[in-house]
């Protein structure tokens, strides 16, 4: 398995027979060098979207059209994109599991908001979500944008993820201290990868607090376009 950070909350995940692009923000992302776009999206099989905010969903329809691959996410947004952009999609909802090749993706709860900017006010795009992605004998918990939730207790007990991709930048989501608390209390991760940080000055710039808060866990501060092999 290879997990490659594209900056902010965007990832390329090579798992099983799939290459998944998670919330790929590759146009205007301050952390991403657009000259690496082709390498970042090469051979992708699906685009996974946690919610409709521009720093997560803006590039998805273009990438799906360019590569001829489906978007995967909350039913409401997927249906709207099919009509607006003519792309194919896999729309489902919280508690649902879809098989992408030999990889299982379950949609789970998150606590945030989900909309897109519009000249006459925001367009609401269904609900925010996270994912449990299972393949190669591992389960990755992608929090999406969220704060700590009591739901994390049963999610950790039921799905037993060993890898966590945790939003941890603060201001818009839980910060490093809150992410460490959630990981420590509700999960038994072997590996944790923070995201949604360092992008802008108002977000946290270091994962030091997360690392210190999770002794015995391999907390990996990712570098853009450098694959993490698990």
- What integer pLDDT is reported at residue 42 of this predicted model? 98
Look up the pTM and report it. 0.97
- What integer pLDDT is reported at residue 100 of this predicted model? 98
Residues with Cβ within 8 Å of residue 11, at least 6 apart in sequence:
3, 4, 5, 20, 21, 22, 23, 142, 165, 195
Beta bridge partners of 74: 92
* Spatial contact of 132 and 105, defined as CB atoms under 8 Å apart: yes
> CA-CA distance, 10 to 58, in Å (whole number)?
12
In tens digits, the chain (230 residues) has pLDDT values of: 999 999 999 999 999 999 999 999 999 999 999 999 999 999 999 999 999 999 999 999 999 999 999 999 999 999 999 999 999 999 999 999 999 999 999 999 999 999 988 888 888 999 999 999 999 999 999 999 999 999 999 999 999 999 999 999 999 999 999 999 999 999 999 999 999 999 999 999 999 999 999 999 999 999 999 999 99
- The vertex-140 CA angle with 102 and 96, nearest 5°, equals 65
In terms of Cα–Cα distance, which of 168, 170, 175, 164 is closest to 228?
A: 164
Handedness of CA 92, 97, 100, 104 (dihedral sign): positive
- What integer pLDDT is reported at residue 119 of this predicted model? 81
Residues with Cβ within 8 Å of residue 116, at least 6 apart in sequence:
52, 53, 54, 57, 122, 123, 125
- What integer pLDDT is reported at residue 121 of this predicted model? 86
CATH architecture label of 2-229 = 4-Layer Sandwich (3.60)
In terms of Cα–Cα distance, which of 197, 229, 196, 193 is closest to 214?
A: 193
Helix 151-159 to helix 176-186 angle, to the nearest 10 degrees? 50
Domain ranges for the chain:
2-229
* Spatial contact of 24 and 6, defined as CB atoms under 8 Å apart: yes
């Amino acid at each position: 398995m290879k997990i490659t950070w594209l900056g902010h909350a965007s990832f390329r995940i090579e798992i099983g027979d799939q290459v998944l692009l998670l919330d790929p923000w590759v146009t205007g992302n301050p952390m991403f060098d657009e000259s690496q776009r082709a390498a970042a999206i090469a051979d992708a099989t699906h685009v996974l979207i946690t919610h409709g905010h521009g720093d997560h969903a803006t590039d998805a329809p273009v990438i799906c059209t360019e590569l001829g691959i489906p978007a995967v996410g909350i039913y409401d947004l997927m249906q709207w994109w099919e009509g607006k952009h003519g792309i194919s999609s896999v729309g489902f909802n919280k508690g649902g599991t879809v098989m992408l090749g030999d990889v299982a993706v379950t949609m789970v709860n998150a606590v945030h908001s989900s909309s897109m900017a519009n000249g006459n006010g925001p367009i609401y795009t269904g609900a925010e979500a996270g994912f449990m992605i299972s393949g190669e004998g591992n389960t990755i918990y992608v929090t999406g944008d969220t704060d700590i939730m009591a739901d994390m207790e049963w999610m950790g007990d039921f799905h037993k993820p060993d890898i966590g991709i945790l939003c941890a930048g603060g201001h818009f989501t839980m910060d490093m201290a809150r992410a460490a608390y959630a990981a420590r209390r509700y999960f038994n991760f072997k590996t944790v990868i923070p995201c949604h940080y360092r992008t802008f000055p108002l977000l946290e710039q270091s994962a030091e607090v997360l690392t210190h808060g999770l002794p015995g866990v391999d907390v990996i501060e990712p570098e853009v376009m450098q694959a993490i092999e698990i």
